[in-house]
DNA sequence: GGCCAGGCTATGG
DNA sequence: CCATAGCATGGC
């Protein structure tokens, strides 16, 4: 006679990470990562196959994770809680636009995401709004991710591996509403799964070398490559230029000038914003997207 | 219903 | 090198 099995309990661990000038909500919803959801004051997500929830309290980020763990270095790495943030901000150029962008959202941070999830997500990002990218990513995870359970029977899924997606058909991917991006994602998954591009090895390369390797993948152009370089590999000189940032650069630094090619924008960005240009870029992106509040503008 | 979205690829100057 | 069309889909 067998006793009724006890409910599956996934023991959950808790930690408090001290932070300063860290706007958790703005950071998790700023278009770097696409899986975080807010409910009951907690941000819920998945990092390295582990259920996580986070919330901001005065001076700290409170975190819970399951399965339980004593080592929280993976979370500190993801959230980048140990960087010298004041030094980064101090390295920004002191022009009016930059000051306004920083003032509009002090505490916006860059995450350090897992390369495959980040790269694949941005392959899907082309010509899509952030809300739609979230939908595509959610559909992919729902269909092809692995199930994990958090406390209280919470069920969620991992981001599917390159191997898993390479085993799908393009039509399987298209069913997740990827549109013309489906063959791009499939092709990139296949090349990554076969080791034609070794994502792990890129962490040891310099920024330009890593970019060159990423650009060999289908659906990966300069902008998508720079997003992965910045948001997953931590190359802070990478400067993704999307429609919003291009608009920001044009309006704030190239007012009423013609013949501004992509080449010139990248040259200017590298020179003007320096080694933490990618960080500055994220502030400009957020500043433009949230309507330049406090910077006036129509 | 039209415009546009964290762009890329292919093609033609 | 630069410019442009075409692309699937859906939010607003």
A224 closest-nt by C1' vs CA: B7
Q: What is the reported pLDDT for A3?
A: 60
Please say if A257 is a catalytic residue: no
User: Which residue among A223, A255, A257, A296 is the active-site one?
Assistant: A223
Q: What is the reported pLDDT for A296?
A: 38
Task: Quickly count helices (H) and strands (E) in chain A.
Answer: 14, 7
Spell out the per-residue pLDDT of chain A, length 298, in tens: 556 655 555 679 999 999 999 999 999 999 999 999 999 999 999 999 999 999 999 999 999 999 999 999 999 999 999 999 999 999 999 999 999 999 999 999 999 999 999 999 999 999 999 999 999 999 999 999 999 998 888 899 999 999 999 999 999 999 999 999 999 999 999 999 999 999 999 999 999 999 999 999 999 999 999 999 999 999 999 999 999 999 999 999 999 888 899 999 999 999 999 999 999 999 999 999 997 654 433 3
Q: Are A135 and A222 in contact (CB under 8 A)?
A: no
A128 closest-nt by C1' vs CA: B5
The neighbouring-strand residues paired with A42 are A39
Positions of strand B less than 7 angstroms from a protein CB = 4-9
Q: Which residue is nearest to nucleotide C10 (CA to C1')?
A: A132
Distance in angstroms: CA A219, C1' C9: 17
Cα atoms in the Cβ-side hemisphere of radius 13 Å centred on A162 = 24
A245 closest-nt by C1' vs CA: B6
Q: Which residue is nearest to nucleotide C2 (CA to C1')?
A: A261
Distance in angstroms: CA A290, C1' C10: 21
Distance in angstroms: CA A133, C1' C3: 28
Closest CA to A84 of A20, A25, A16: A20
The neighbouring-strand residues paired with A61 are A17, A56
The DSSP symbol for A9 reads -
Q: Which residue is nearest to nucleotide B7 (CA to C1')?
A: A126
- Looking only at Cα atoms, what is the longest distance across chain A? 82
- pTM of the entire structure? 0.95
Q: What is the reported pLDDT for A260?
A: 94
The Cα A4–Cα A263 span in angstroms is: 67
Q: Is the CB of A30 under 7 A from strand B?
A: yes
């Amino acid at each position: 006679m067998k006793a009724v099995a006890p409910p599956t309990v996934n023991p959950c661990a808790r930690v408090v990470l001290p932070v300063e000038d860290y706007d958790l909500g703005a950071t998790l919803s700023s278009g770097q990562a696409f899986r975080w959801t807010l409910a009951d004051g907690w941000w819920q997500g998945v990092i390295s196959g582990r259920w996580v929830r986070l919330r901001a309290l005065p001076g700290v980020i409170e975190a819970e994770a399951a399965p339980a763990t004593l080592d929280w270095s993976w979370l500190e790495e993801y959230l980048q809680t140990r960087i010298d943030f004041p030094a980064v901000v101090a390295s920004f150029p002191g022009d009016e636009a930059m000051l306004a962008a920083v003032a509009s959202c002090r505490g916006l941070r860059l995450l350090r995401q897992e390369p495959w999830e980040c790269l694949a997500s941005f392959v899907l990002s082309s010509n899509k709004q952030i809300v739609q990218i979230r939908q595509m990513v959610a559909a992919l995870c729902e269909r092809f991710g692995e199930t994990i359970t958090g406390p209280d029977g919470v069920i969620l899924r991992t981001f599917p591996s390159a191997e898993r997606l390479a085993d799908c058909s393009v039509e399987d991917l298209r069913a997740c509403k990827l549109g013309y991006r489906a063959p791009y994602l499939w092709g990139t998954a296949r090349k990554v799964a076969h080791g034609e591009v070794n994502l792990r090895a890129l962490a040891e390369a310099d920024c330009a070398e890593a970019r060159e390797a990423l650009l060999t993948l289908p659906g990966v152009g300069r902008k998508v490559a720079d997003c992965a370089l910045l948001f997953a590999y931590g190359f802070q000189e990478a400067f993704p230029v999307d429609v919003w940032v291009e608009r920001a650069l044009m309006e704030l630094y190239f007012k009423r000038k013609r013949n501004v090619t992509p080449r010139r924008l990248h040259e200017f960005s590298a020179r003007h914003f320096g080694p933490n240009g990618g960080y500055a870029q994220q502030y400009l992106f957020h500043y433009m997207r949230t309507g330049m509040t406090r910077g006036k503008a129509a």
